[in-house]
Amino acid sequence: MEATVEYSPPPVVDYTDIYEAIMQFNKNKTAFIHQWYPFVEGYSREFIESIINELDYEPTHVLDPFAGSGTTPVELQAMGIKCSSFEVSPFMHLLASTKLNTQYHLSSFERELTRMSGFLRGALLPIRQYMSPPLAKTFQPRKGLKKWVFDQGVMNGILDVKYTISCTDDAKYRSLFNVALASILLDVSNVYRNGKCLSYKKKWQETKMSRREVHERFLAKLEKMKDDIAQIEKSEYLVQNRFDCHYGDVRSSIDVLAEDSIDLVITSPPYLNSRDYTDIYMAELWMLGLVSSYEDIRALRRRTLRSHVQVKLGEVETPEVSKLQESLRALDAVDADLWNEDIPNMIKAYFLDMDLLFKKMKAKMAPSKKVFFNVANSAYYGVKVDVDEIVSEIADQHGFHVEEIREARKLEPSSQQKKQVGKLRESVIVMTS
């Protein structure tokens, strides 16, 4: 990376009054289609609307390099705007592409629902003769194990559901039903999503759920989806963004796009918070058969953006960004106290990935078009990493004009960091190609 001469940081503008209410995915929990799965990370559909409304041009081809649960391409599809998106997680890609499918029919859905209901409410099969549980070591009780994610009866109930889904002939409904199953997995398990990991629920050993209750929760979820299926069938879609929802690492997969073809970017990459999304969605990955071995898990981690320390990175080149180098020098002073010695290399690698992304995005974008880039600042051992300012300088080095950093929300850091750094800024970086 070539150092930029006389770089001028963009202004930081307070947008909390506007963005605080629309940046959280929680607003999507009851929204059309988005309610199919309780995604935690990401922004709301209203955030997408606010961006489209403020543009002084009509975009025709939008890019989301980090699709996640598909909020951006789903909302743009409803507006008739083409969106190319990329997702490296097989579960997230399944979720996004399933939500983007417009070929569902209520009669077919209800026919499958009736069939599955008859099976799940009928005589119980010796299900393990038909379906095997995943090879994940902690997913069910076994000798010598003190904790497990699913009780025996619950695992059998999930396998019953998986078996009846496997009997569905139409692939699009199999995907839809797998998303419904994924949405109840943590509810029927002994764990919950707790920031960077899965933690055991209080009194989990005292709370037992029956095999039949798993069936009923799955069927209840499908009943809640019926109205959405009916609405999809009645809707007219001018674009089909599922065909442009690519499964793969955007750092290389973006090469499929034509140069100068993108006229808007809306995205939120993984935050620099050492959170491994492979860990967080481990139950969905294993139970849906999206990974079948620990080597699959390791391979997936190696393909993800380098925002965690689950993969040994070795020595990493330091990007030539002044604000980043300030943070790295400060971290060097507390190096002996770091809970993981790879944190400095993780930080370097994260911004090297950002550097590659902006280099490739610049080639794909038409001139003078907008980018809305949602990030959050980080802190490690009292040292703040101003991600928004560092990303802005990287973008500037690749020829983007950064107009402003919009402060969207104040985020609570970990309890260890709170006294030293206070709250951290979540931002939307607005720039022009």
CA separation for the pair 433, 398 (Å, rounded)? 9
In degrees, rounded to 5, the angle at the alpha carbon of residue 278 between the alpha carbons of residues 243 and 284 is: 70
The answer to whether residue 114 is domain-embedded is yes
Helical pair 343-364 and 387-397, crossing angle rounded to 10 deg: 40
The residue from 234, 254, 285 where one domain ends is 234
The pLDDT of residue 293 is above 70: yes
Residues 37-69 have pLDDT tens digits of 987 777 888 999 999 999 999 999 999 999 999
Total structural domains within the chain? 2
Torsion over CA: 355, 361, 366, 369 (sign): negative
Pairing of strands 401-411, 424-432: antiparallel
Chain mean pLDDT for the chain: 92
Domain shared by 382 and 253, yes or no: yes
Confidence of residue 195 (pLDDT cuts 50, 70, 90): confident
* Percentage of residues of the chain with pLDDT beyond 90: 76
The answer to whether residue 152 is domain-embedded is yes
Domain shared by 125 and 210, yes or no: yes
Confidence of residue 185 (pLDDT cuts 50, 70, 90): very high
Higher-confidence position of 194 and 363: 363
Domain shared by 86 and 172, yes or no: no
The pLDDT of residue 274 is above 60: yes
Helical pair 171-184 and 152-166, crossing angle rounded to 10 deg: 160
DSSP 138-181: TSS--TT-S--SS-HHHHHHHHHHHHHHHT---HHHHHHHHHHH
Residues 140-172 have pLDDT tens digits of 999 999 999 999 999 999 999 999 999 999 999
Which of 192-198's residues contact partners 24+ apart within 8 Å by CB, and which partners? Answer: 193/40, 193/280, 195/275, 196/273, 196/274, 196/275, 196/276, 196/279, 196/280, 197/279, 197/280, 198/149, 198/279, 198/280, 198/282, 198/283
Phi and psi torsions of 400, nearest 5°: -85, 145
Q: How many other C-beta atoms lie within 10 A of the C-beta of residue 204?
A: 17
Confidence of residue 337 (pLDDT cuts 50, 70, 90): low
The pLDDT of residue 26 is above 80: no
Element (H, E) at 104: none
Higher-confidence position of 139 and 418: 139
Domain shared by 200 and 318, yes or no: no
Residues 93-119 have pLDDT tens digits of 999 999 999 999 999 999 999 999 999
CA separation for the pair 397, 311 (Å, rounded)? 28
CA separation for the pair 268, 282 (Å, rounded)? 21
Q: Residue 369: which domain range?
A: 12-90+242-274+309-432
Among candidate residues 218, 165, 182, the one with its CA nearest the CA of residue 290: 182
The pLDDT of residue 419 is above 90: no
CA separation for the pair 79, 231 (Å, rounded)? 15
Give the model's pLDDT for residue 4: 45
Find the CATH number of the domain harbouring 26: 3.40.50.150
Domain shared by 195 and 324, yes or no: no
The answer to whether residue 201 is domain-embedded is yes
